[in-house]
Structure 1
Amino acid sequence: MSSLAGDWLMMERQTFERFVRHELPDGDPVLADLEARHLAITDPGRSTLAPLLSQYRTRKSYLLQGPALHIFVVSLRCHHTCNYCQVSRQPTGHTAFDMAGNAARHAVDRLFEWPGQDLTIEFQGGEPLLNFNAVRSITEQIVARNATERRTLRFVLASTLHDLTADQLAFFKEHRFKLSTSLDGPEWLHNANRPRPERDSYRRTLEGIERGRAALGEDAVSALTTLTRRSLEAPEAIIDEYRRLGFHSISLRPLSPYGFARKTRDRNGYDMAAFLRFYATALEHLLAVNRNGYRLEETYASLLLSQLLGPFAHGYVDLRSPTGAGFGAVIYDYDGQVYPSDEARMLAAMGESRFSLGRVDQPVSQWLKAPAMYQLMDAGVAEALPTCSDCAYVPLCGADPIDHFARQGDTLGHRPTSDFCRRQMGLFDLLLERYENADRQDRKTLHDWAFRTGVNQEDALDAAA
């Protein structure tokens, strides 16, 4: 059972049915638990909804800040030819797919029109280092403007890290950048998933990680893995590779329904049941790694556990209701188009531009009136959606209308056949059962994941994003 604000309680079904029939006697400890967690009121004359409403406001507090994540896509060019690429990368010689002209200047203007005090600026591609001049120029414009705006800024670069130079690393150190890269596992798997003509992707990635760590610090480089069909055969090998390389977080990310990933689904894809079986095996191996004294968390599990075990919302865009698209993130594309999420940008690259908010030379007030925002608002409140409204996990989950449109052709989606819902419910079920049945050591590990004990929370969120 769960409350509006995310408090929850496990009980036997027979006890639950007695509760529904008002048969639990005064003084019953289960009834006391229910009242303490805002799931019941025993005396309307003495009880108040104020604590529940206060907790609800706390859990939805991200709505007051506007988008905190601002993604600048400075180039679609990339060295890789990954079959699961979701961003429709372009060959390295096609500079027409670089951000140029006034697009960057207008995007910086729009960034400061939003009300948020804490802003994360992330540079993406393709490979953003192929247009490093734009990364440098945009960063310098933002820093100069912030001398009067006085916002709290965080800079992130999502890159293969293959072509890092000393000059680039000095710039990243000056502006305290965090680096995020892709590492799909051991060499045989990484090279198969992320091919280069020279077949040296794994070696170059490790060299980039080491250069980044040496210049910026051990905790300045995070990584995530994208899971193909062959990845599902090697959960322990993937996790052991991250441990061997000194990472303390790993993000086990299933394939997306965008870009080249959709075209190669028959070769690389799998159903959600296969992913959940993989994840259950990976979770047990991760807990064993932690029992043996090495701290290693799975970032998405940490996000879900923080929702289950904590009163605060982290604002991760996929777990927001109202949806994080447009309300928690904004994407400034290389060509000056603006989107409410990276997934909306990917759909546009596939020919479906209905979620475009407009262009960077238009004010934010105009974007907020765009038809796309009305679509997102209509389908973006999970508590009001069919099936979601009856789900015990809805206070802890999100709506994600763009994902449902991409998979099912409809922003509301059909929840009983939704991969998004199967993933969320499957992982919540798995983590809740594992937490409830864990011994003291494993429960402490899961609790530490939830509250980021020893792990930088913002870095873990970057890795998950």
Structure 2
Amino acid sequence: MKKSPESTSLVHINKEKVGFFRFKELKGKFKKFIQGKLDKKSSTYKNLQANNFIKDDADLGKSIEICQQRNVFLFQGPSLHIVVVTLRCNYNCVYCQASSRGIGAKGMDMDKKTARAVVNTIFQSPSKDITIEFQGGEPLLNWPIVRFIVELAEQKNRKAKKNLFISLVTNLSLMDGEKHAYLVKHSISICTSLDGPESLHNANRPFAEGDSYRATTAWIKKIKAREKKDSSLYKLGALVFSQIRIVFNKIICLKVLIG
């Protein structure tokens, strides 16, 4: 334990794992806490007790309930299944985390044999809730396999009778009327990214074939228009905004424009 060279008021304790506490508090409330000498009538004591830092009574019922809530996923099996049908992408986003490849790359698409194995594995989960989320790359570049997985999952679910939810994460540049109609027919949720106004979106999400902002917003408008006609459709989700303070007013205008 040593004083920080930047400030005499800070003491570092196992800096990499714990962080630091204020020096005066180590002598006061924190020291009393670790010694078990905090005043039981004090607000500090009651707050720590309410947040389960202090246990006076063996309230096993409450402790068991909290443990179950925090670890419920261990007893239900996996419910969210991310399916990467291709690593190819027609965008070159500056923040891409998917190790995407160029649109002409070979050997980057999932085939039917693998897709069938994926669906079979998904339905081995004991969870009553199953979410299949298509990602990439840009999943619309491997549209036949997206359809194959959707229809195979629906077929298997007729017997499994799970709560099946399917989502597609897409940049919308390859969307067309036929694909959109298919997604609506099969109740597939659509998720896309919109980084803000045109200049910001295009800077973050370069598109070799043109204006990525216009490609995205054109289909957002069409999808939103369809939603207004049919309230049962899943809402278009996951609009991602960057640099909120700088473009706040423009984002408000964008929201009004798109709806």
Residues 371-405 of structure 1: CA distance to partner in whole angstroms, max 9, x if unpaired? xxxxxxxxxxxxxxxxxxxxxxxxxxxxxxxxxxx
Q: Does 1:72 align with 2:72?
A: no
Q: In structure 2, what is the equivalent of residue 438 of structure 1?
A: none
Q: In structure 1, what is the equivalent of residue 254 of structure 2?
A: 245
| Candidates 147, 164, 180, aligned match of 1:169 | 180
CA-based RMSD of the aligned residues comes to 2.7
Q: In structure 2, what is the equivalent of residue 38 of structure 1?
A: 52
**How does 1:26-425 map onto structure 2 within 5 Å?**
26-42=40-56, 47-94=58-105, 96-216=107-227, 220-225=235-240, 234-246=243-255
Distance 1:163 1:137 in 2: 18
Residues 29-50 of structure 1: CA distance to partner in whole angstroms, max 9, x if unpaired? 44344434433244x5xx4333
| Candidates 9, 13, 17, aligned match of 2:31 | 17
Task: For residue 156 of structure 1, give the secondary structure of its aligned residue in structure 2.
Answer: strand
* Aligned CA distance change for structure 1 residues 22 and 123 (closer, same or farther; 3 Å): closer
Q: Between Structure 1 and Structure 2, how many residues are aligned?
A: 227
Structure 2: which 5+ residue stretches go unaligned?
1-23
* Aligned CA distance change for structure 1 residues 83 and 41 (closer, same or farther; 3 Å): closer
Distance 2:44 2:99 in 1: 54
* Aligned CA distance change for structure 1 residues 39 and 195 (closer, same or farther; 3 Å): closer
Is the 1:173–1:215 Cα contact (8 Å) retained in structure 2? no
Scaled by the length of structure 1, what TM-score is found? 0.44
Structure 1: which 5+ residue stretches go unaligned?
1-11, 248-465
Task: For residue 97 of structure 1, give the secondary structure of its aligned residue in structure 2.
Answer: coil
Residues 134-187 of structure 1: CA distance to partner in whole angstroms, max 9, x if unpaired? 111110110011001011111111111112222211211122221111222221
> What letter is aligned with 2:199?
W
> 1:239, CA displacement in angstroms?
4.6
> 1:198, CA displacement in angstroms?
3.8
Is the 1:129–1:163 Cα contact (8 Å) retained in structure 2? yes
Is the 1:123–1:156 Cα contact (8 Å) retained in structure 2? yes
Is the 2:197–2:254 Cα contact (8 Å) retained in structure 1? no
> What letter is aligned with 1:40?
I
Q: In structure 1, what is the equivalent of residue 12 of structure 2?
A: none
Identical-pair percentage:
36
Is the 1:155–1:176 Cα contact (8 Å) retained in structure 2? yes
Is the 1:177–1:220 Cα contact (8 Å) retained in structure 2? no
Is the 2:138–2:170 Cα contact (8 Å) retained in structure 1? yes
Distance 1:124 1:98 in 2: 12
Task: For residue 162 of structure 1, give the secondary structure of its aligned residue in structure 2.
Answer: coil
Scaled by the length of structure 2, what TM-score is found? 0.76
